[in-house]
Amino acid sequence: MHARSHYSNTFKTRLKMVDRMEEMERPEDEKEVGMKITAGRKSSRDMLVLRSLRVKWGENLVLDGIDLELNVGDKIGIFGPNGSGKTTLVKALIGEIPATGELWLAPGASVGYFAQGHETLDPSITAEQQMLEVLGKGERLRARQLLARFLLKGKDVERPISTLSGGERARVALALLMAEQHNLLILDEPTNYLDILSREAVESALREYPGTIVVVTHDRYLLDAVCTHMGELRNGKMEVYAGNYTAMKGQRRKTVVEETVVYRVVSNFKNWTLGKKYNAGEQITIAESEMPTFEWAFNNGKLKRMRAGEMKKVKK
Ligand SMILES: Nc1ncnc2c1ncn2[C@@H]1O[C@H](COP(=O)(O)OP(=O)(O)O)[C@@H](O)[C@H]1O
Ligand SMILES: [Mg+2]
C-alpha cells in the first residue's frame, strides 16, 4: 500500500491504530517448517492450492491443516462460526500473516482483496476520482457505468468517500476491485452492511465475474447463486463440498448456514467462550446458535443491532 500514494494517509492512520492495539500483530512463525511456495507440477487449470496450511496465534492453533485446490473460475464460499478462523485464512492467503504448509498461486495470479472494514479507500477523494485513478483520466463514462452497477449514482460518486455510509464505501471498494481486472478475488464478508438491493447488485456482479473467487460470507443467497464450492471452517479444519449451498444442504440433510444478524460493536469487549476480542466500530455477524455466547455483551450494551437506516444513509 505504500506504493499507492493516494492511500498513504489512510495507511498512516491504520498504522497508528495498529500501534495502539494490544493484540498480536502477527501469529507465531514456525521457523523450522516454514512456508513452501512451490511452482510447477500443477495443472494449467489450477489457480490456488493449499496443503496442510497452519496458522497459530500464540498458543492458539487457529488453522490446523487446511487443504484446498481451486481451478480457474471456481468460486468458493467459506463460512463457519465466529472465531473459526475465516479472516485468519483470508489474511494467510494474501500473505498478510505467516503460515506454514504449502500455498501455491498460479504464476499469472493477480489478487484483489476486500477486507472487512475496507480500509484501502482514500476518504478525502470521491468515488469517481478513485475510479479514474484505476481506469485512467479519460474514462469518465466507464467509471460512471461501473459505479452505477453497484448502485452508486449522481451525488454519491461526487462526494468525498468520508461522507459515504459503510455500505456505500463497501460498494465503492468492490467496484474498484472489478475495475482493477484481477483474476482472483479474495473477499471477506463483502455484503455484510448492504441493504437488499445493493446486495443483489453485488451478487450479480460476482456471478458474472469470470475469474476465481474466495469469499467469506453468511449470505445464503450469495452462497447459492454465486458459489461453485462451499468451504465449512470448524475446529481448525475446512471441509470442502463441490456444488452450491443447496446441493451441499441436500448432502447434509440439515441447515448448515444459519440465519444471521449484523451487530455493531459499541465498545471493546472479549467473548470468552470464543476467545475473541472485538473492537468498537467493528461489525459482527451473529448466528442464532451463537447468541448465548454473546449474552454478556448484549446485557452490557456492547452490541447494537444494525438497522437498515444505519446501513444506508437517506439521500436528499
Ligand atoms: N490479531 C490477533 N491476535 C490474536 N489472536 C487473534 C488475532 N486475530 C484473530 N485471532 C484469533 O484467531 C481466531 C480466529 O479469528 P478470526 O480469523 O477473526 O475468525 P472469524 O473471521 O472466523 O470470525 C480467534 O480465536 C481469534 O481470537
Ligand atoms: Mg472475520
Indicate if ligand 1 lies below 6 Å from the C-beta of 116. Answer: no
- Enter the CATH code of domain 5-119+152-252: 3.40.50.300
List strands edge to edge, sheet with 303-305.
283-287, 260-265, 303-305
Distance 88 CA to ligand 1 centre (A): 6
DSSP symbols for 175-228: HHHHHTT-SEEEEESTTTT--HHHHHHHHHHHHH--SEEEEE---HHHHHHT-S
Atom of ligand 1 nearest to the CA of 233: 22
Check residues 29 and 134 and name the one with the higher pLDDT: 134
Q: For residues 224 and 23, what is the distance between their CA atoms, to the nearest angstrom?
A: 35
CA of 274 to the centre of ligand 2 (A): 13
Q: Would the pLDDT of 19 be above 60?
A: no
Predicted confidence at residue 255, as pLDDT, reads 53
H or E stretch including 283?
A: strand 283-287
Q: Which residues pair with 186 in a beta bridge?
A: 113, 214
Q: What is the pLDDT of residues 94-110, one digit of tens each?
A: 999 999 999 999 988 99
The average confidence (pLDDT) of the chain is 84
- 87-91, 127-131, 189-193, 229-233: the lowest-pLDDT one: 189-193
**Residue 83: nearest ligand to its CA?**
1
Pocket probe for ligand 1: among 88, 214, 268, the residue whose CB has the most ligand atoms within 8 Å is: 88
Predicted TM-score of the model (pTM):
0.78
Judged against a pLDDT cut of 80, whether residue 155 lies above it is answered with yes
What pLDDT is stored for residue 55 in this prediction?
96
The amino acid present at 38, given as its one-letter code, is T
User: Is pLDDT of 16 > 50?
Assistant: yes
CB of 22 within 6 A of ligand 1: the answer is no
Q: 254 exposed, middle or buried (CB, 10 Å; 0-12, 13-18, 19+)?
A: exposed
The atom number, within ligand 1, closest to the CA of 85 reads 17
- Label residue 243 exposed, middle or buried (CB < 10 Å: 0-12, 13-18, 19+): middle
Per-residue model confidence as pLDDT tens digits over 110-152:
999 998 766 678 999 999 999 999 999 999 999 999 999 999 9
pLDDT at 44: 76
* Residue-range domain boundaries for the chain: 5-119+152-252, 260-311
Any idea which of 109-118, 174-183, 296-305 has the lowest mean pLDDT? 109-118
Nearest residue CA, atom 6 of ligand 1?
57
The helix or strand, by DSSP H or E, that contains position 261, with its residue range, turns out to be strand 260-265
From 273, 276, 282, mutation site for ligand 1 pocket: most ligand atoms within 8 A of C-beta: 276
Confidence of residue 2 (pLDDT cuts 50, 70, 90): very low
Could you give the maximum distance between any two Cα atoms of the chain, in Å?
A: 60
Point out the ligand nearest to the CA of residue 97. Answer: 1
Q: Could you say which ligand is closest to the alpha carbon of residue 84?
A: 1
- Please give the pLDDT value at position 252: 62
Asked whether the predicted pLDDT for residue 14 surpasses 70, the reply is: no
Of the ligands numbered here, which is closest to the C-alpha atom of 283?
A: 2
Q: Please name which of 35, 82, 77 lies closest in space to residue 62, comparing C-alpha atoms.
A: 82
Q: Whose CA is nearest to atom 24 of ligand 1?
A: 83
Q: Residue 77: beta bridge partners?
A: 215, 230
Ligand 1 within 6 A of CB of 117: no
Counting Cβ atoms within 10 Å, is residue 259 exposed (0-12), middle (13-18) or buried (19+)?
A: exposed
CB 99 within 8 A of CB 53: yes
Grid coordinates of 131: 475510479
Q: Is 84 in the pocket of ligand 1 (CB under 6 A)?
A: yes
- For the CA atoms of 224, 225, 226, 227, what is the dihedral angle to 10 degrees? 20
102, β-bridge pairs: 36, 51
Per-residue pLDDT, averaged over 170-187, amounts to 94
Alpha helix stretches (DSSP H) within the chain? 8-20, 86-93, 127-135, 140-149, 166-179, 196-208, 220-225, 245-252, 295-299, 308-311
Measured between alpha carbons, how far is 146 from 133 in angstroms, rounded to an integer? 14
Atom of ligand 1 lying closest to residue 24 CA: 3
For residues 295 and 16, what is the distance between their CA atoms, to the nearest angstrom? 32
298 in ligand 1 pocket by Cβ < 6 Å? no
Nearest residue (CA) to ligand 1, atom 9: 88
pLDDT of residue 265: 92
CB-ligand 1 contact for 231 (6 Å cutoff): no
**pLDDT tens digit sequence for 39-71:** 445 667 899 999 999 999 999 999 999 999 999
Could you tell me if the CB of 88 is within 6 A of ligand 1? yes
Ligand 1 atom with least separation from CA of 82: 23
